Structure 1
Amino acid sequence: MVNRGAVVAILALTLWMKVKGHGRLLVPPSRASMWREGFNTPKNYNDNQLFCGGFYNQQSHGGKCGVCGDPWQGPRDHEAGGKYATGTIGATYSQGQKVTVTVAITANHLGWFEFRLCPVNDMKVRATQACLDSNLLALADGSGTRYPIGSASKRYHVDVILPSKVSCSQCVLQWKYHTGNSWGTDPDGRGCTGCGPQEEFYGCSDIAILSRTQPTTTMPTPSSSPFTFTPTSTSTTTTTTTSTHSTPTTTCNPQATSCTQSDSCAARAVTADDIVSSMWCSGNCASGRCKQVLVCVDP
């Protein structure tokens, strides 16, 4: 007679083995992982398990998944309105820039990465997969859009090119990890390891992309006396600079401290409507001016 408990245990072990592949998007930091990079955001200790609720759950919904790795049926904790979608911009880039994306794979299941981009410009609006699919990012080496990974569990650094005509105060960058270690069958009937549906992982980062023609904010040269900075907004169509911020004028000592990054910085915890402050930080953090105004971190 078959031991029913043993069968259940074997099935549970099989399911665990099926979903043990894990990974997380670290640069730019995903909504789930920002806290690991020093941001004051909710902590998701399972940030390497955004796999659509698991392979079997995803397939039970026709292969569908939330754009940030949440189960298709919900809850969508990592999309707009969810507890991890705080409205915090993780990094600021420029149109057409080559960006190094860092992904930590903690349990390797082979396969490949893809990266997509959706300009949303409203933290209260969810990005759609159709929008993300319209901006599938190319690899910087010209080899295509899919980055095949080896068998190592490590941090992978992938160079991609941002679209040359997309700028945004808030874009969603999506990481997709399509694993490839399970036997499956393609639609044409070919069977192989890595064929057919496979387990998938996702992550979403909130980034800003500046226009190449967008004016930069010029600051006074460092001196021994304090100076005053008031964030302002700029426009590419007029020469008039008007303030849209209620942020009070901040006075600080430009020689009080310096940043650890020597070439480029971005502002920590800058929301989508505070892009000018992010521009100021990017231009001045590296020179060691006024770290008290904004906390600057590596982009």
Structure 2
Amino acid sequence: MKTRPVNSKAMDSQFDEWTKAVARKPTRRKTLQLISGGLFGALLTSLGRRSWAASSTSAAAPSASPPIGIEDNTAAASVQKGLSICRNQEYALCAGVRCFVYNNVAYCRCNLQFGDSVSRRLSYAGGDVCTFNAEGSGNGYVVSTFSVPPASAGPSGDRALYFCPPTSNSGAYASCDGGICFASTRGQSFPGLGRLGQDQIVCSCPIATGTSGSAAKVGHQIFGPYPCQASFFENCTSAVATGANGTIIYEGAPTGSYEIGALVLNGRPARFNMCFP
């Protein structure tokens, strides 16, 4: 199969082909599992509108990832054109962390990692996100990019993706992909976050809401405790996550983002633990 031109209609069709090929059965839960995640939400806008398929089940066990076929690879190749894989670099992993809000910025306690990660390309005159992150080595900063957090995958993982449906009172979350983190915060104390370890760093992340951008179409996701806790869904709404000074919010992204990132980075969907309202 030849790769089709990269435009919104082609990408939308390829995404649907990939979904059908991997899902095998077009159930609502399987559809959610395939598009689950929280990082590359900007890509979902180009993929077109996705309706929210609410599940009546509060928890879904991760299932084995099926092999990737030619349709899957075609879709992944098109999506990857908007992403960069950073090889063998230090990076900050913020997926699912708690953040302290001050002056309309979320300051997040992230974990320093080394290896391969993926991010939106975020091009500039000097290169892309990987170039920018490489420049930080020895210059006191790193960039927040994505790899699958081990604690989010079952059956032994104690973290899960919580699905927040698109509603008029969807709450705020920290959008950390591409966020800048400064090495001077390692091992230091920070308001709302406590004292950091030597392998932790504070990252500055924009605040997004579930009522704007692609999240308004497909909802958004945040990481939380597993087994699923009904009370944690309160963080999906503006009643809790207002974004006011001193508020604790969670890193998240529009539905589908983490799964797309995992597929592009690792070549197969991640086996996330999942919680539905």
TM-score above 0.5, yes or no: no
**Greater C-alpha Rg:** 1
Relative contact order higher in (CA < 8 Å, ≥ 6 apart)? 2
What is the TM-score of this pair, normalised by structure 2? Answer: 0.24
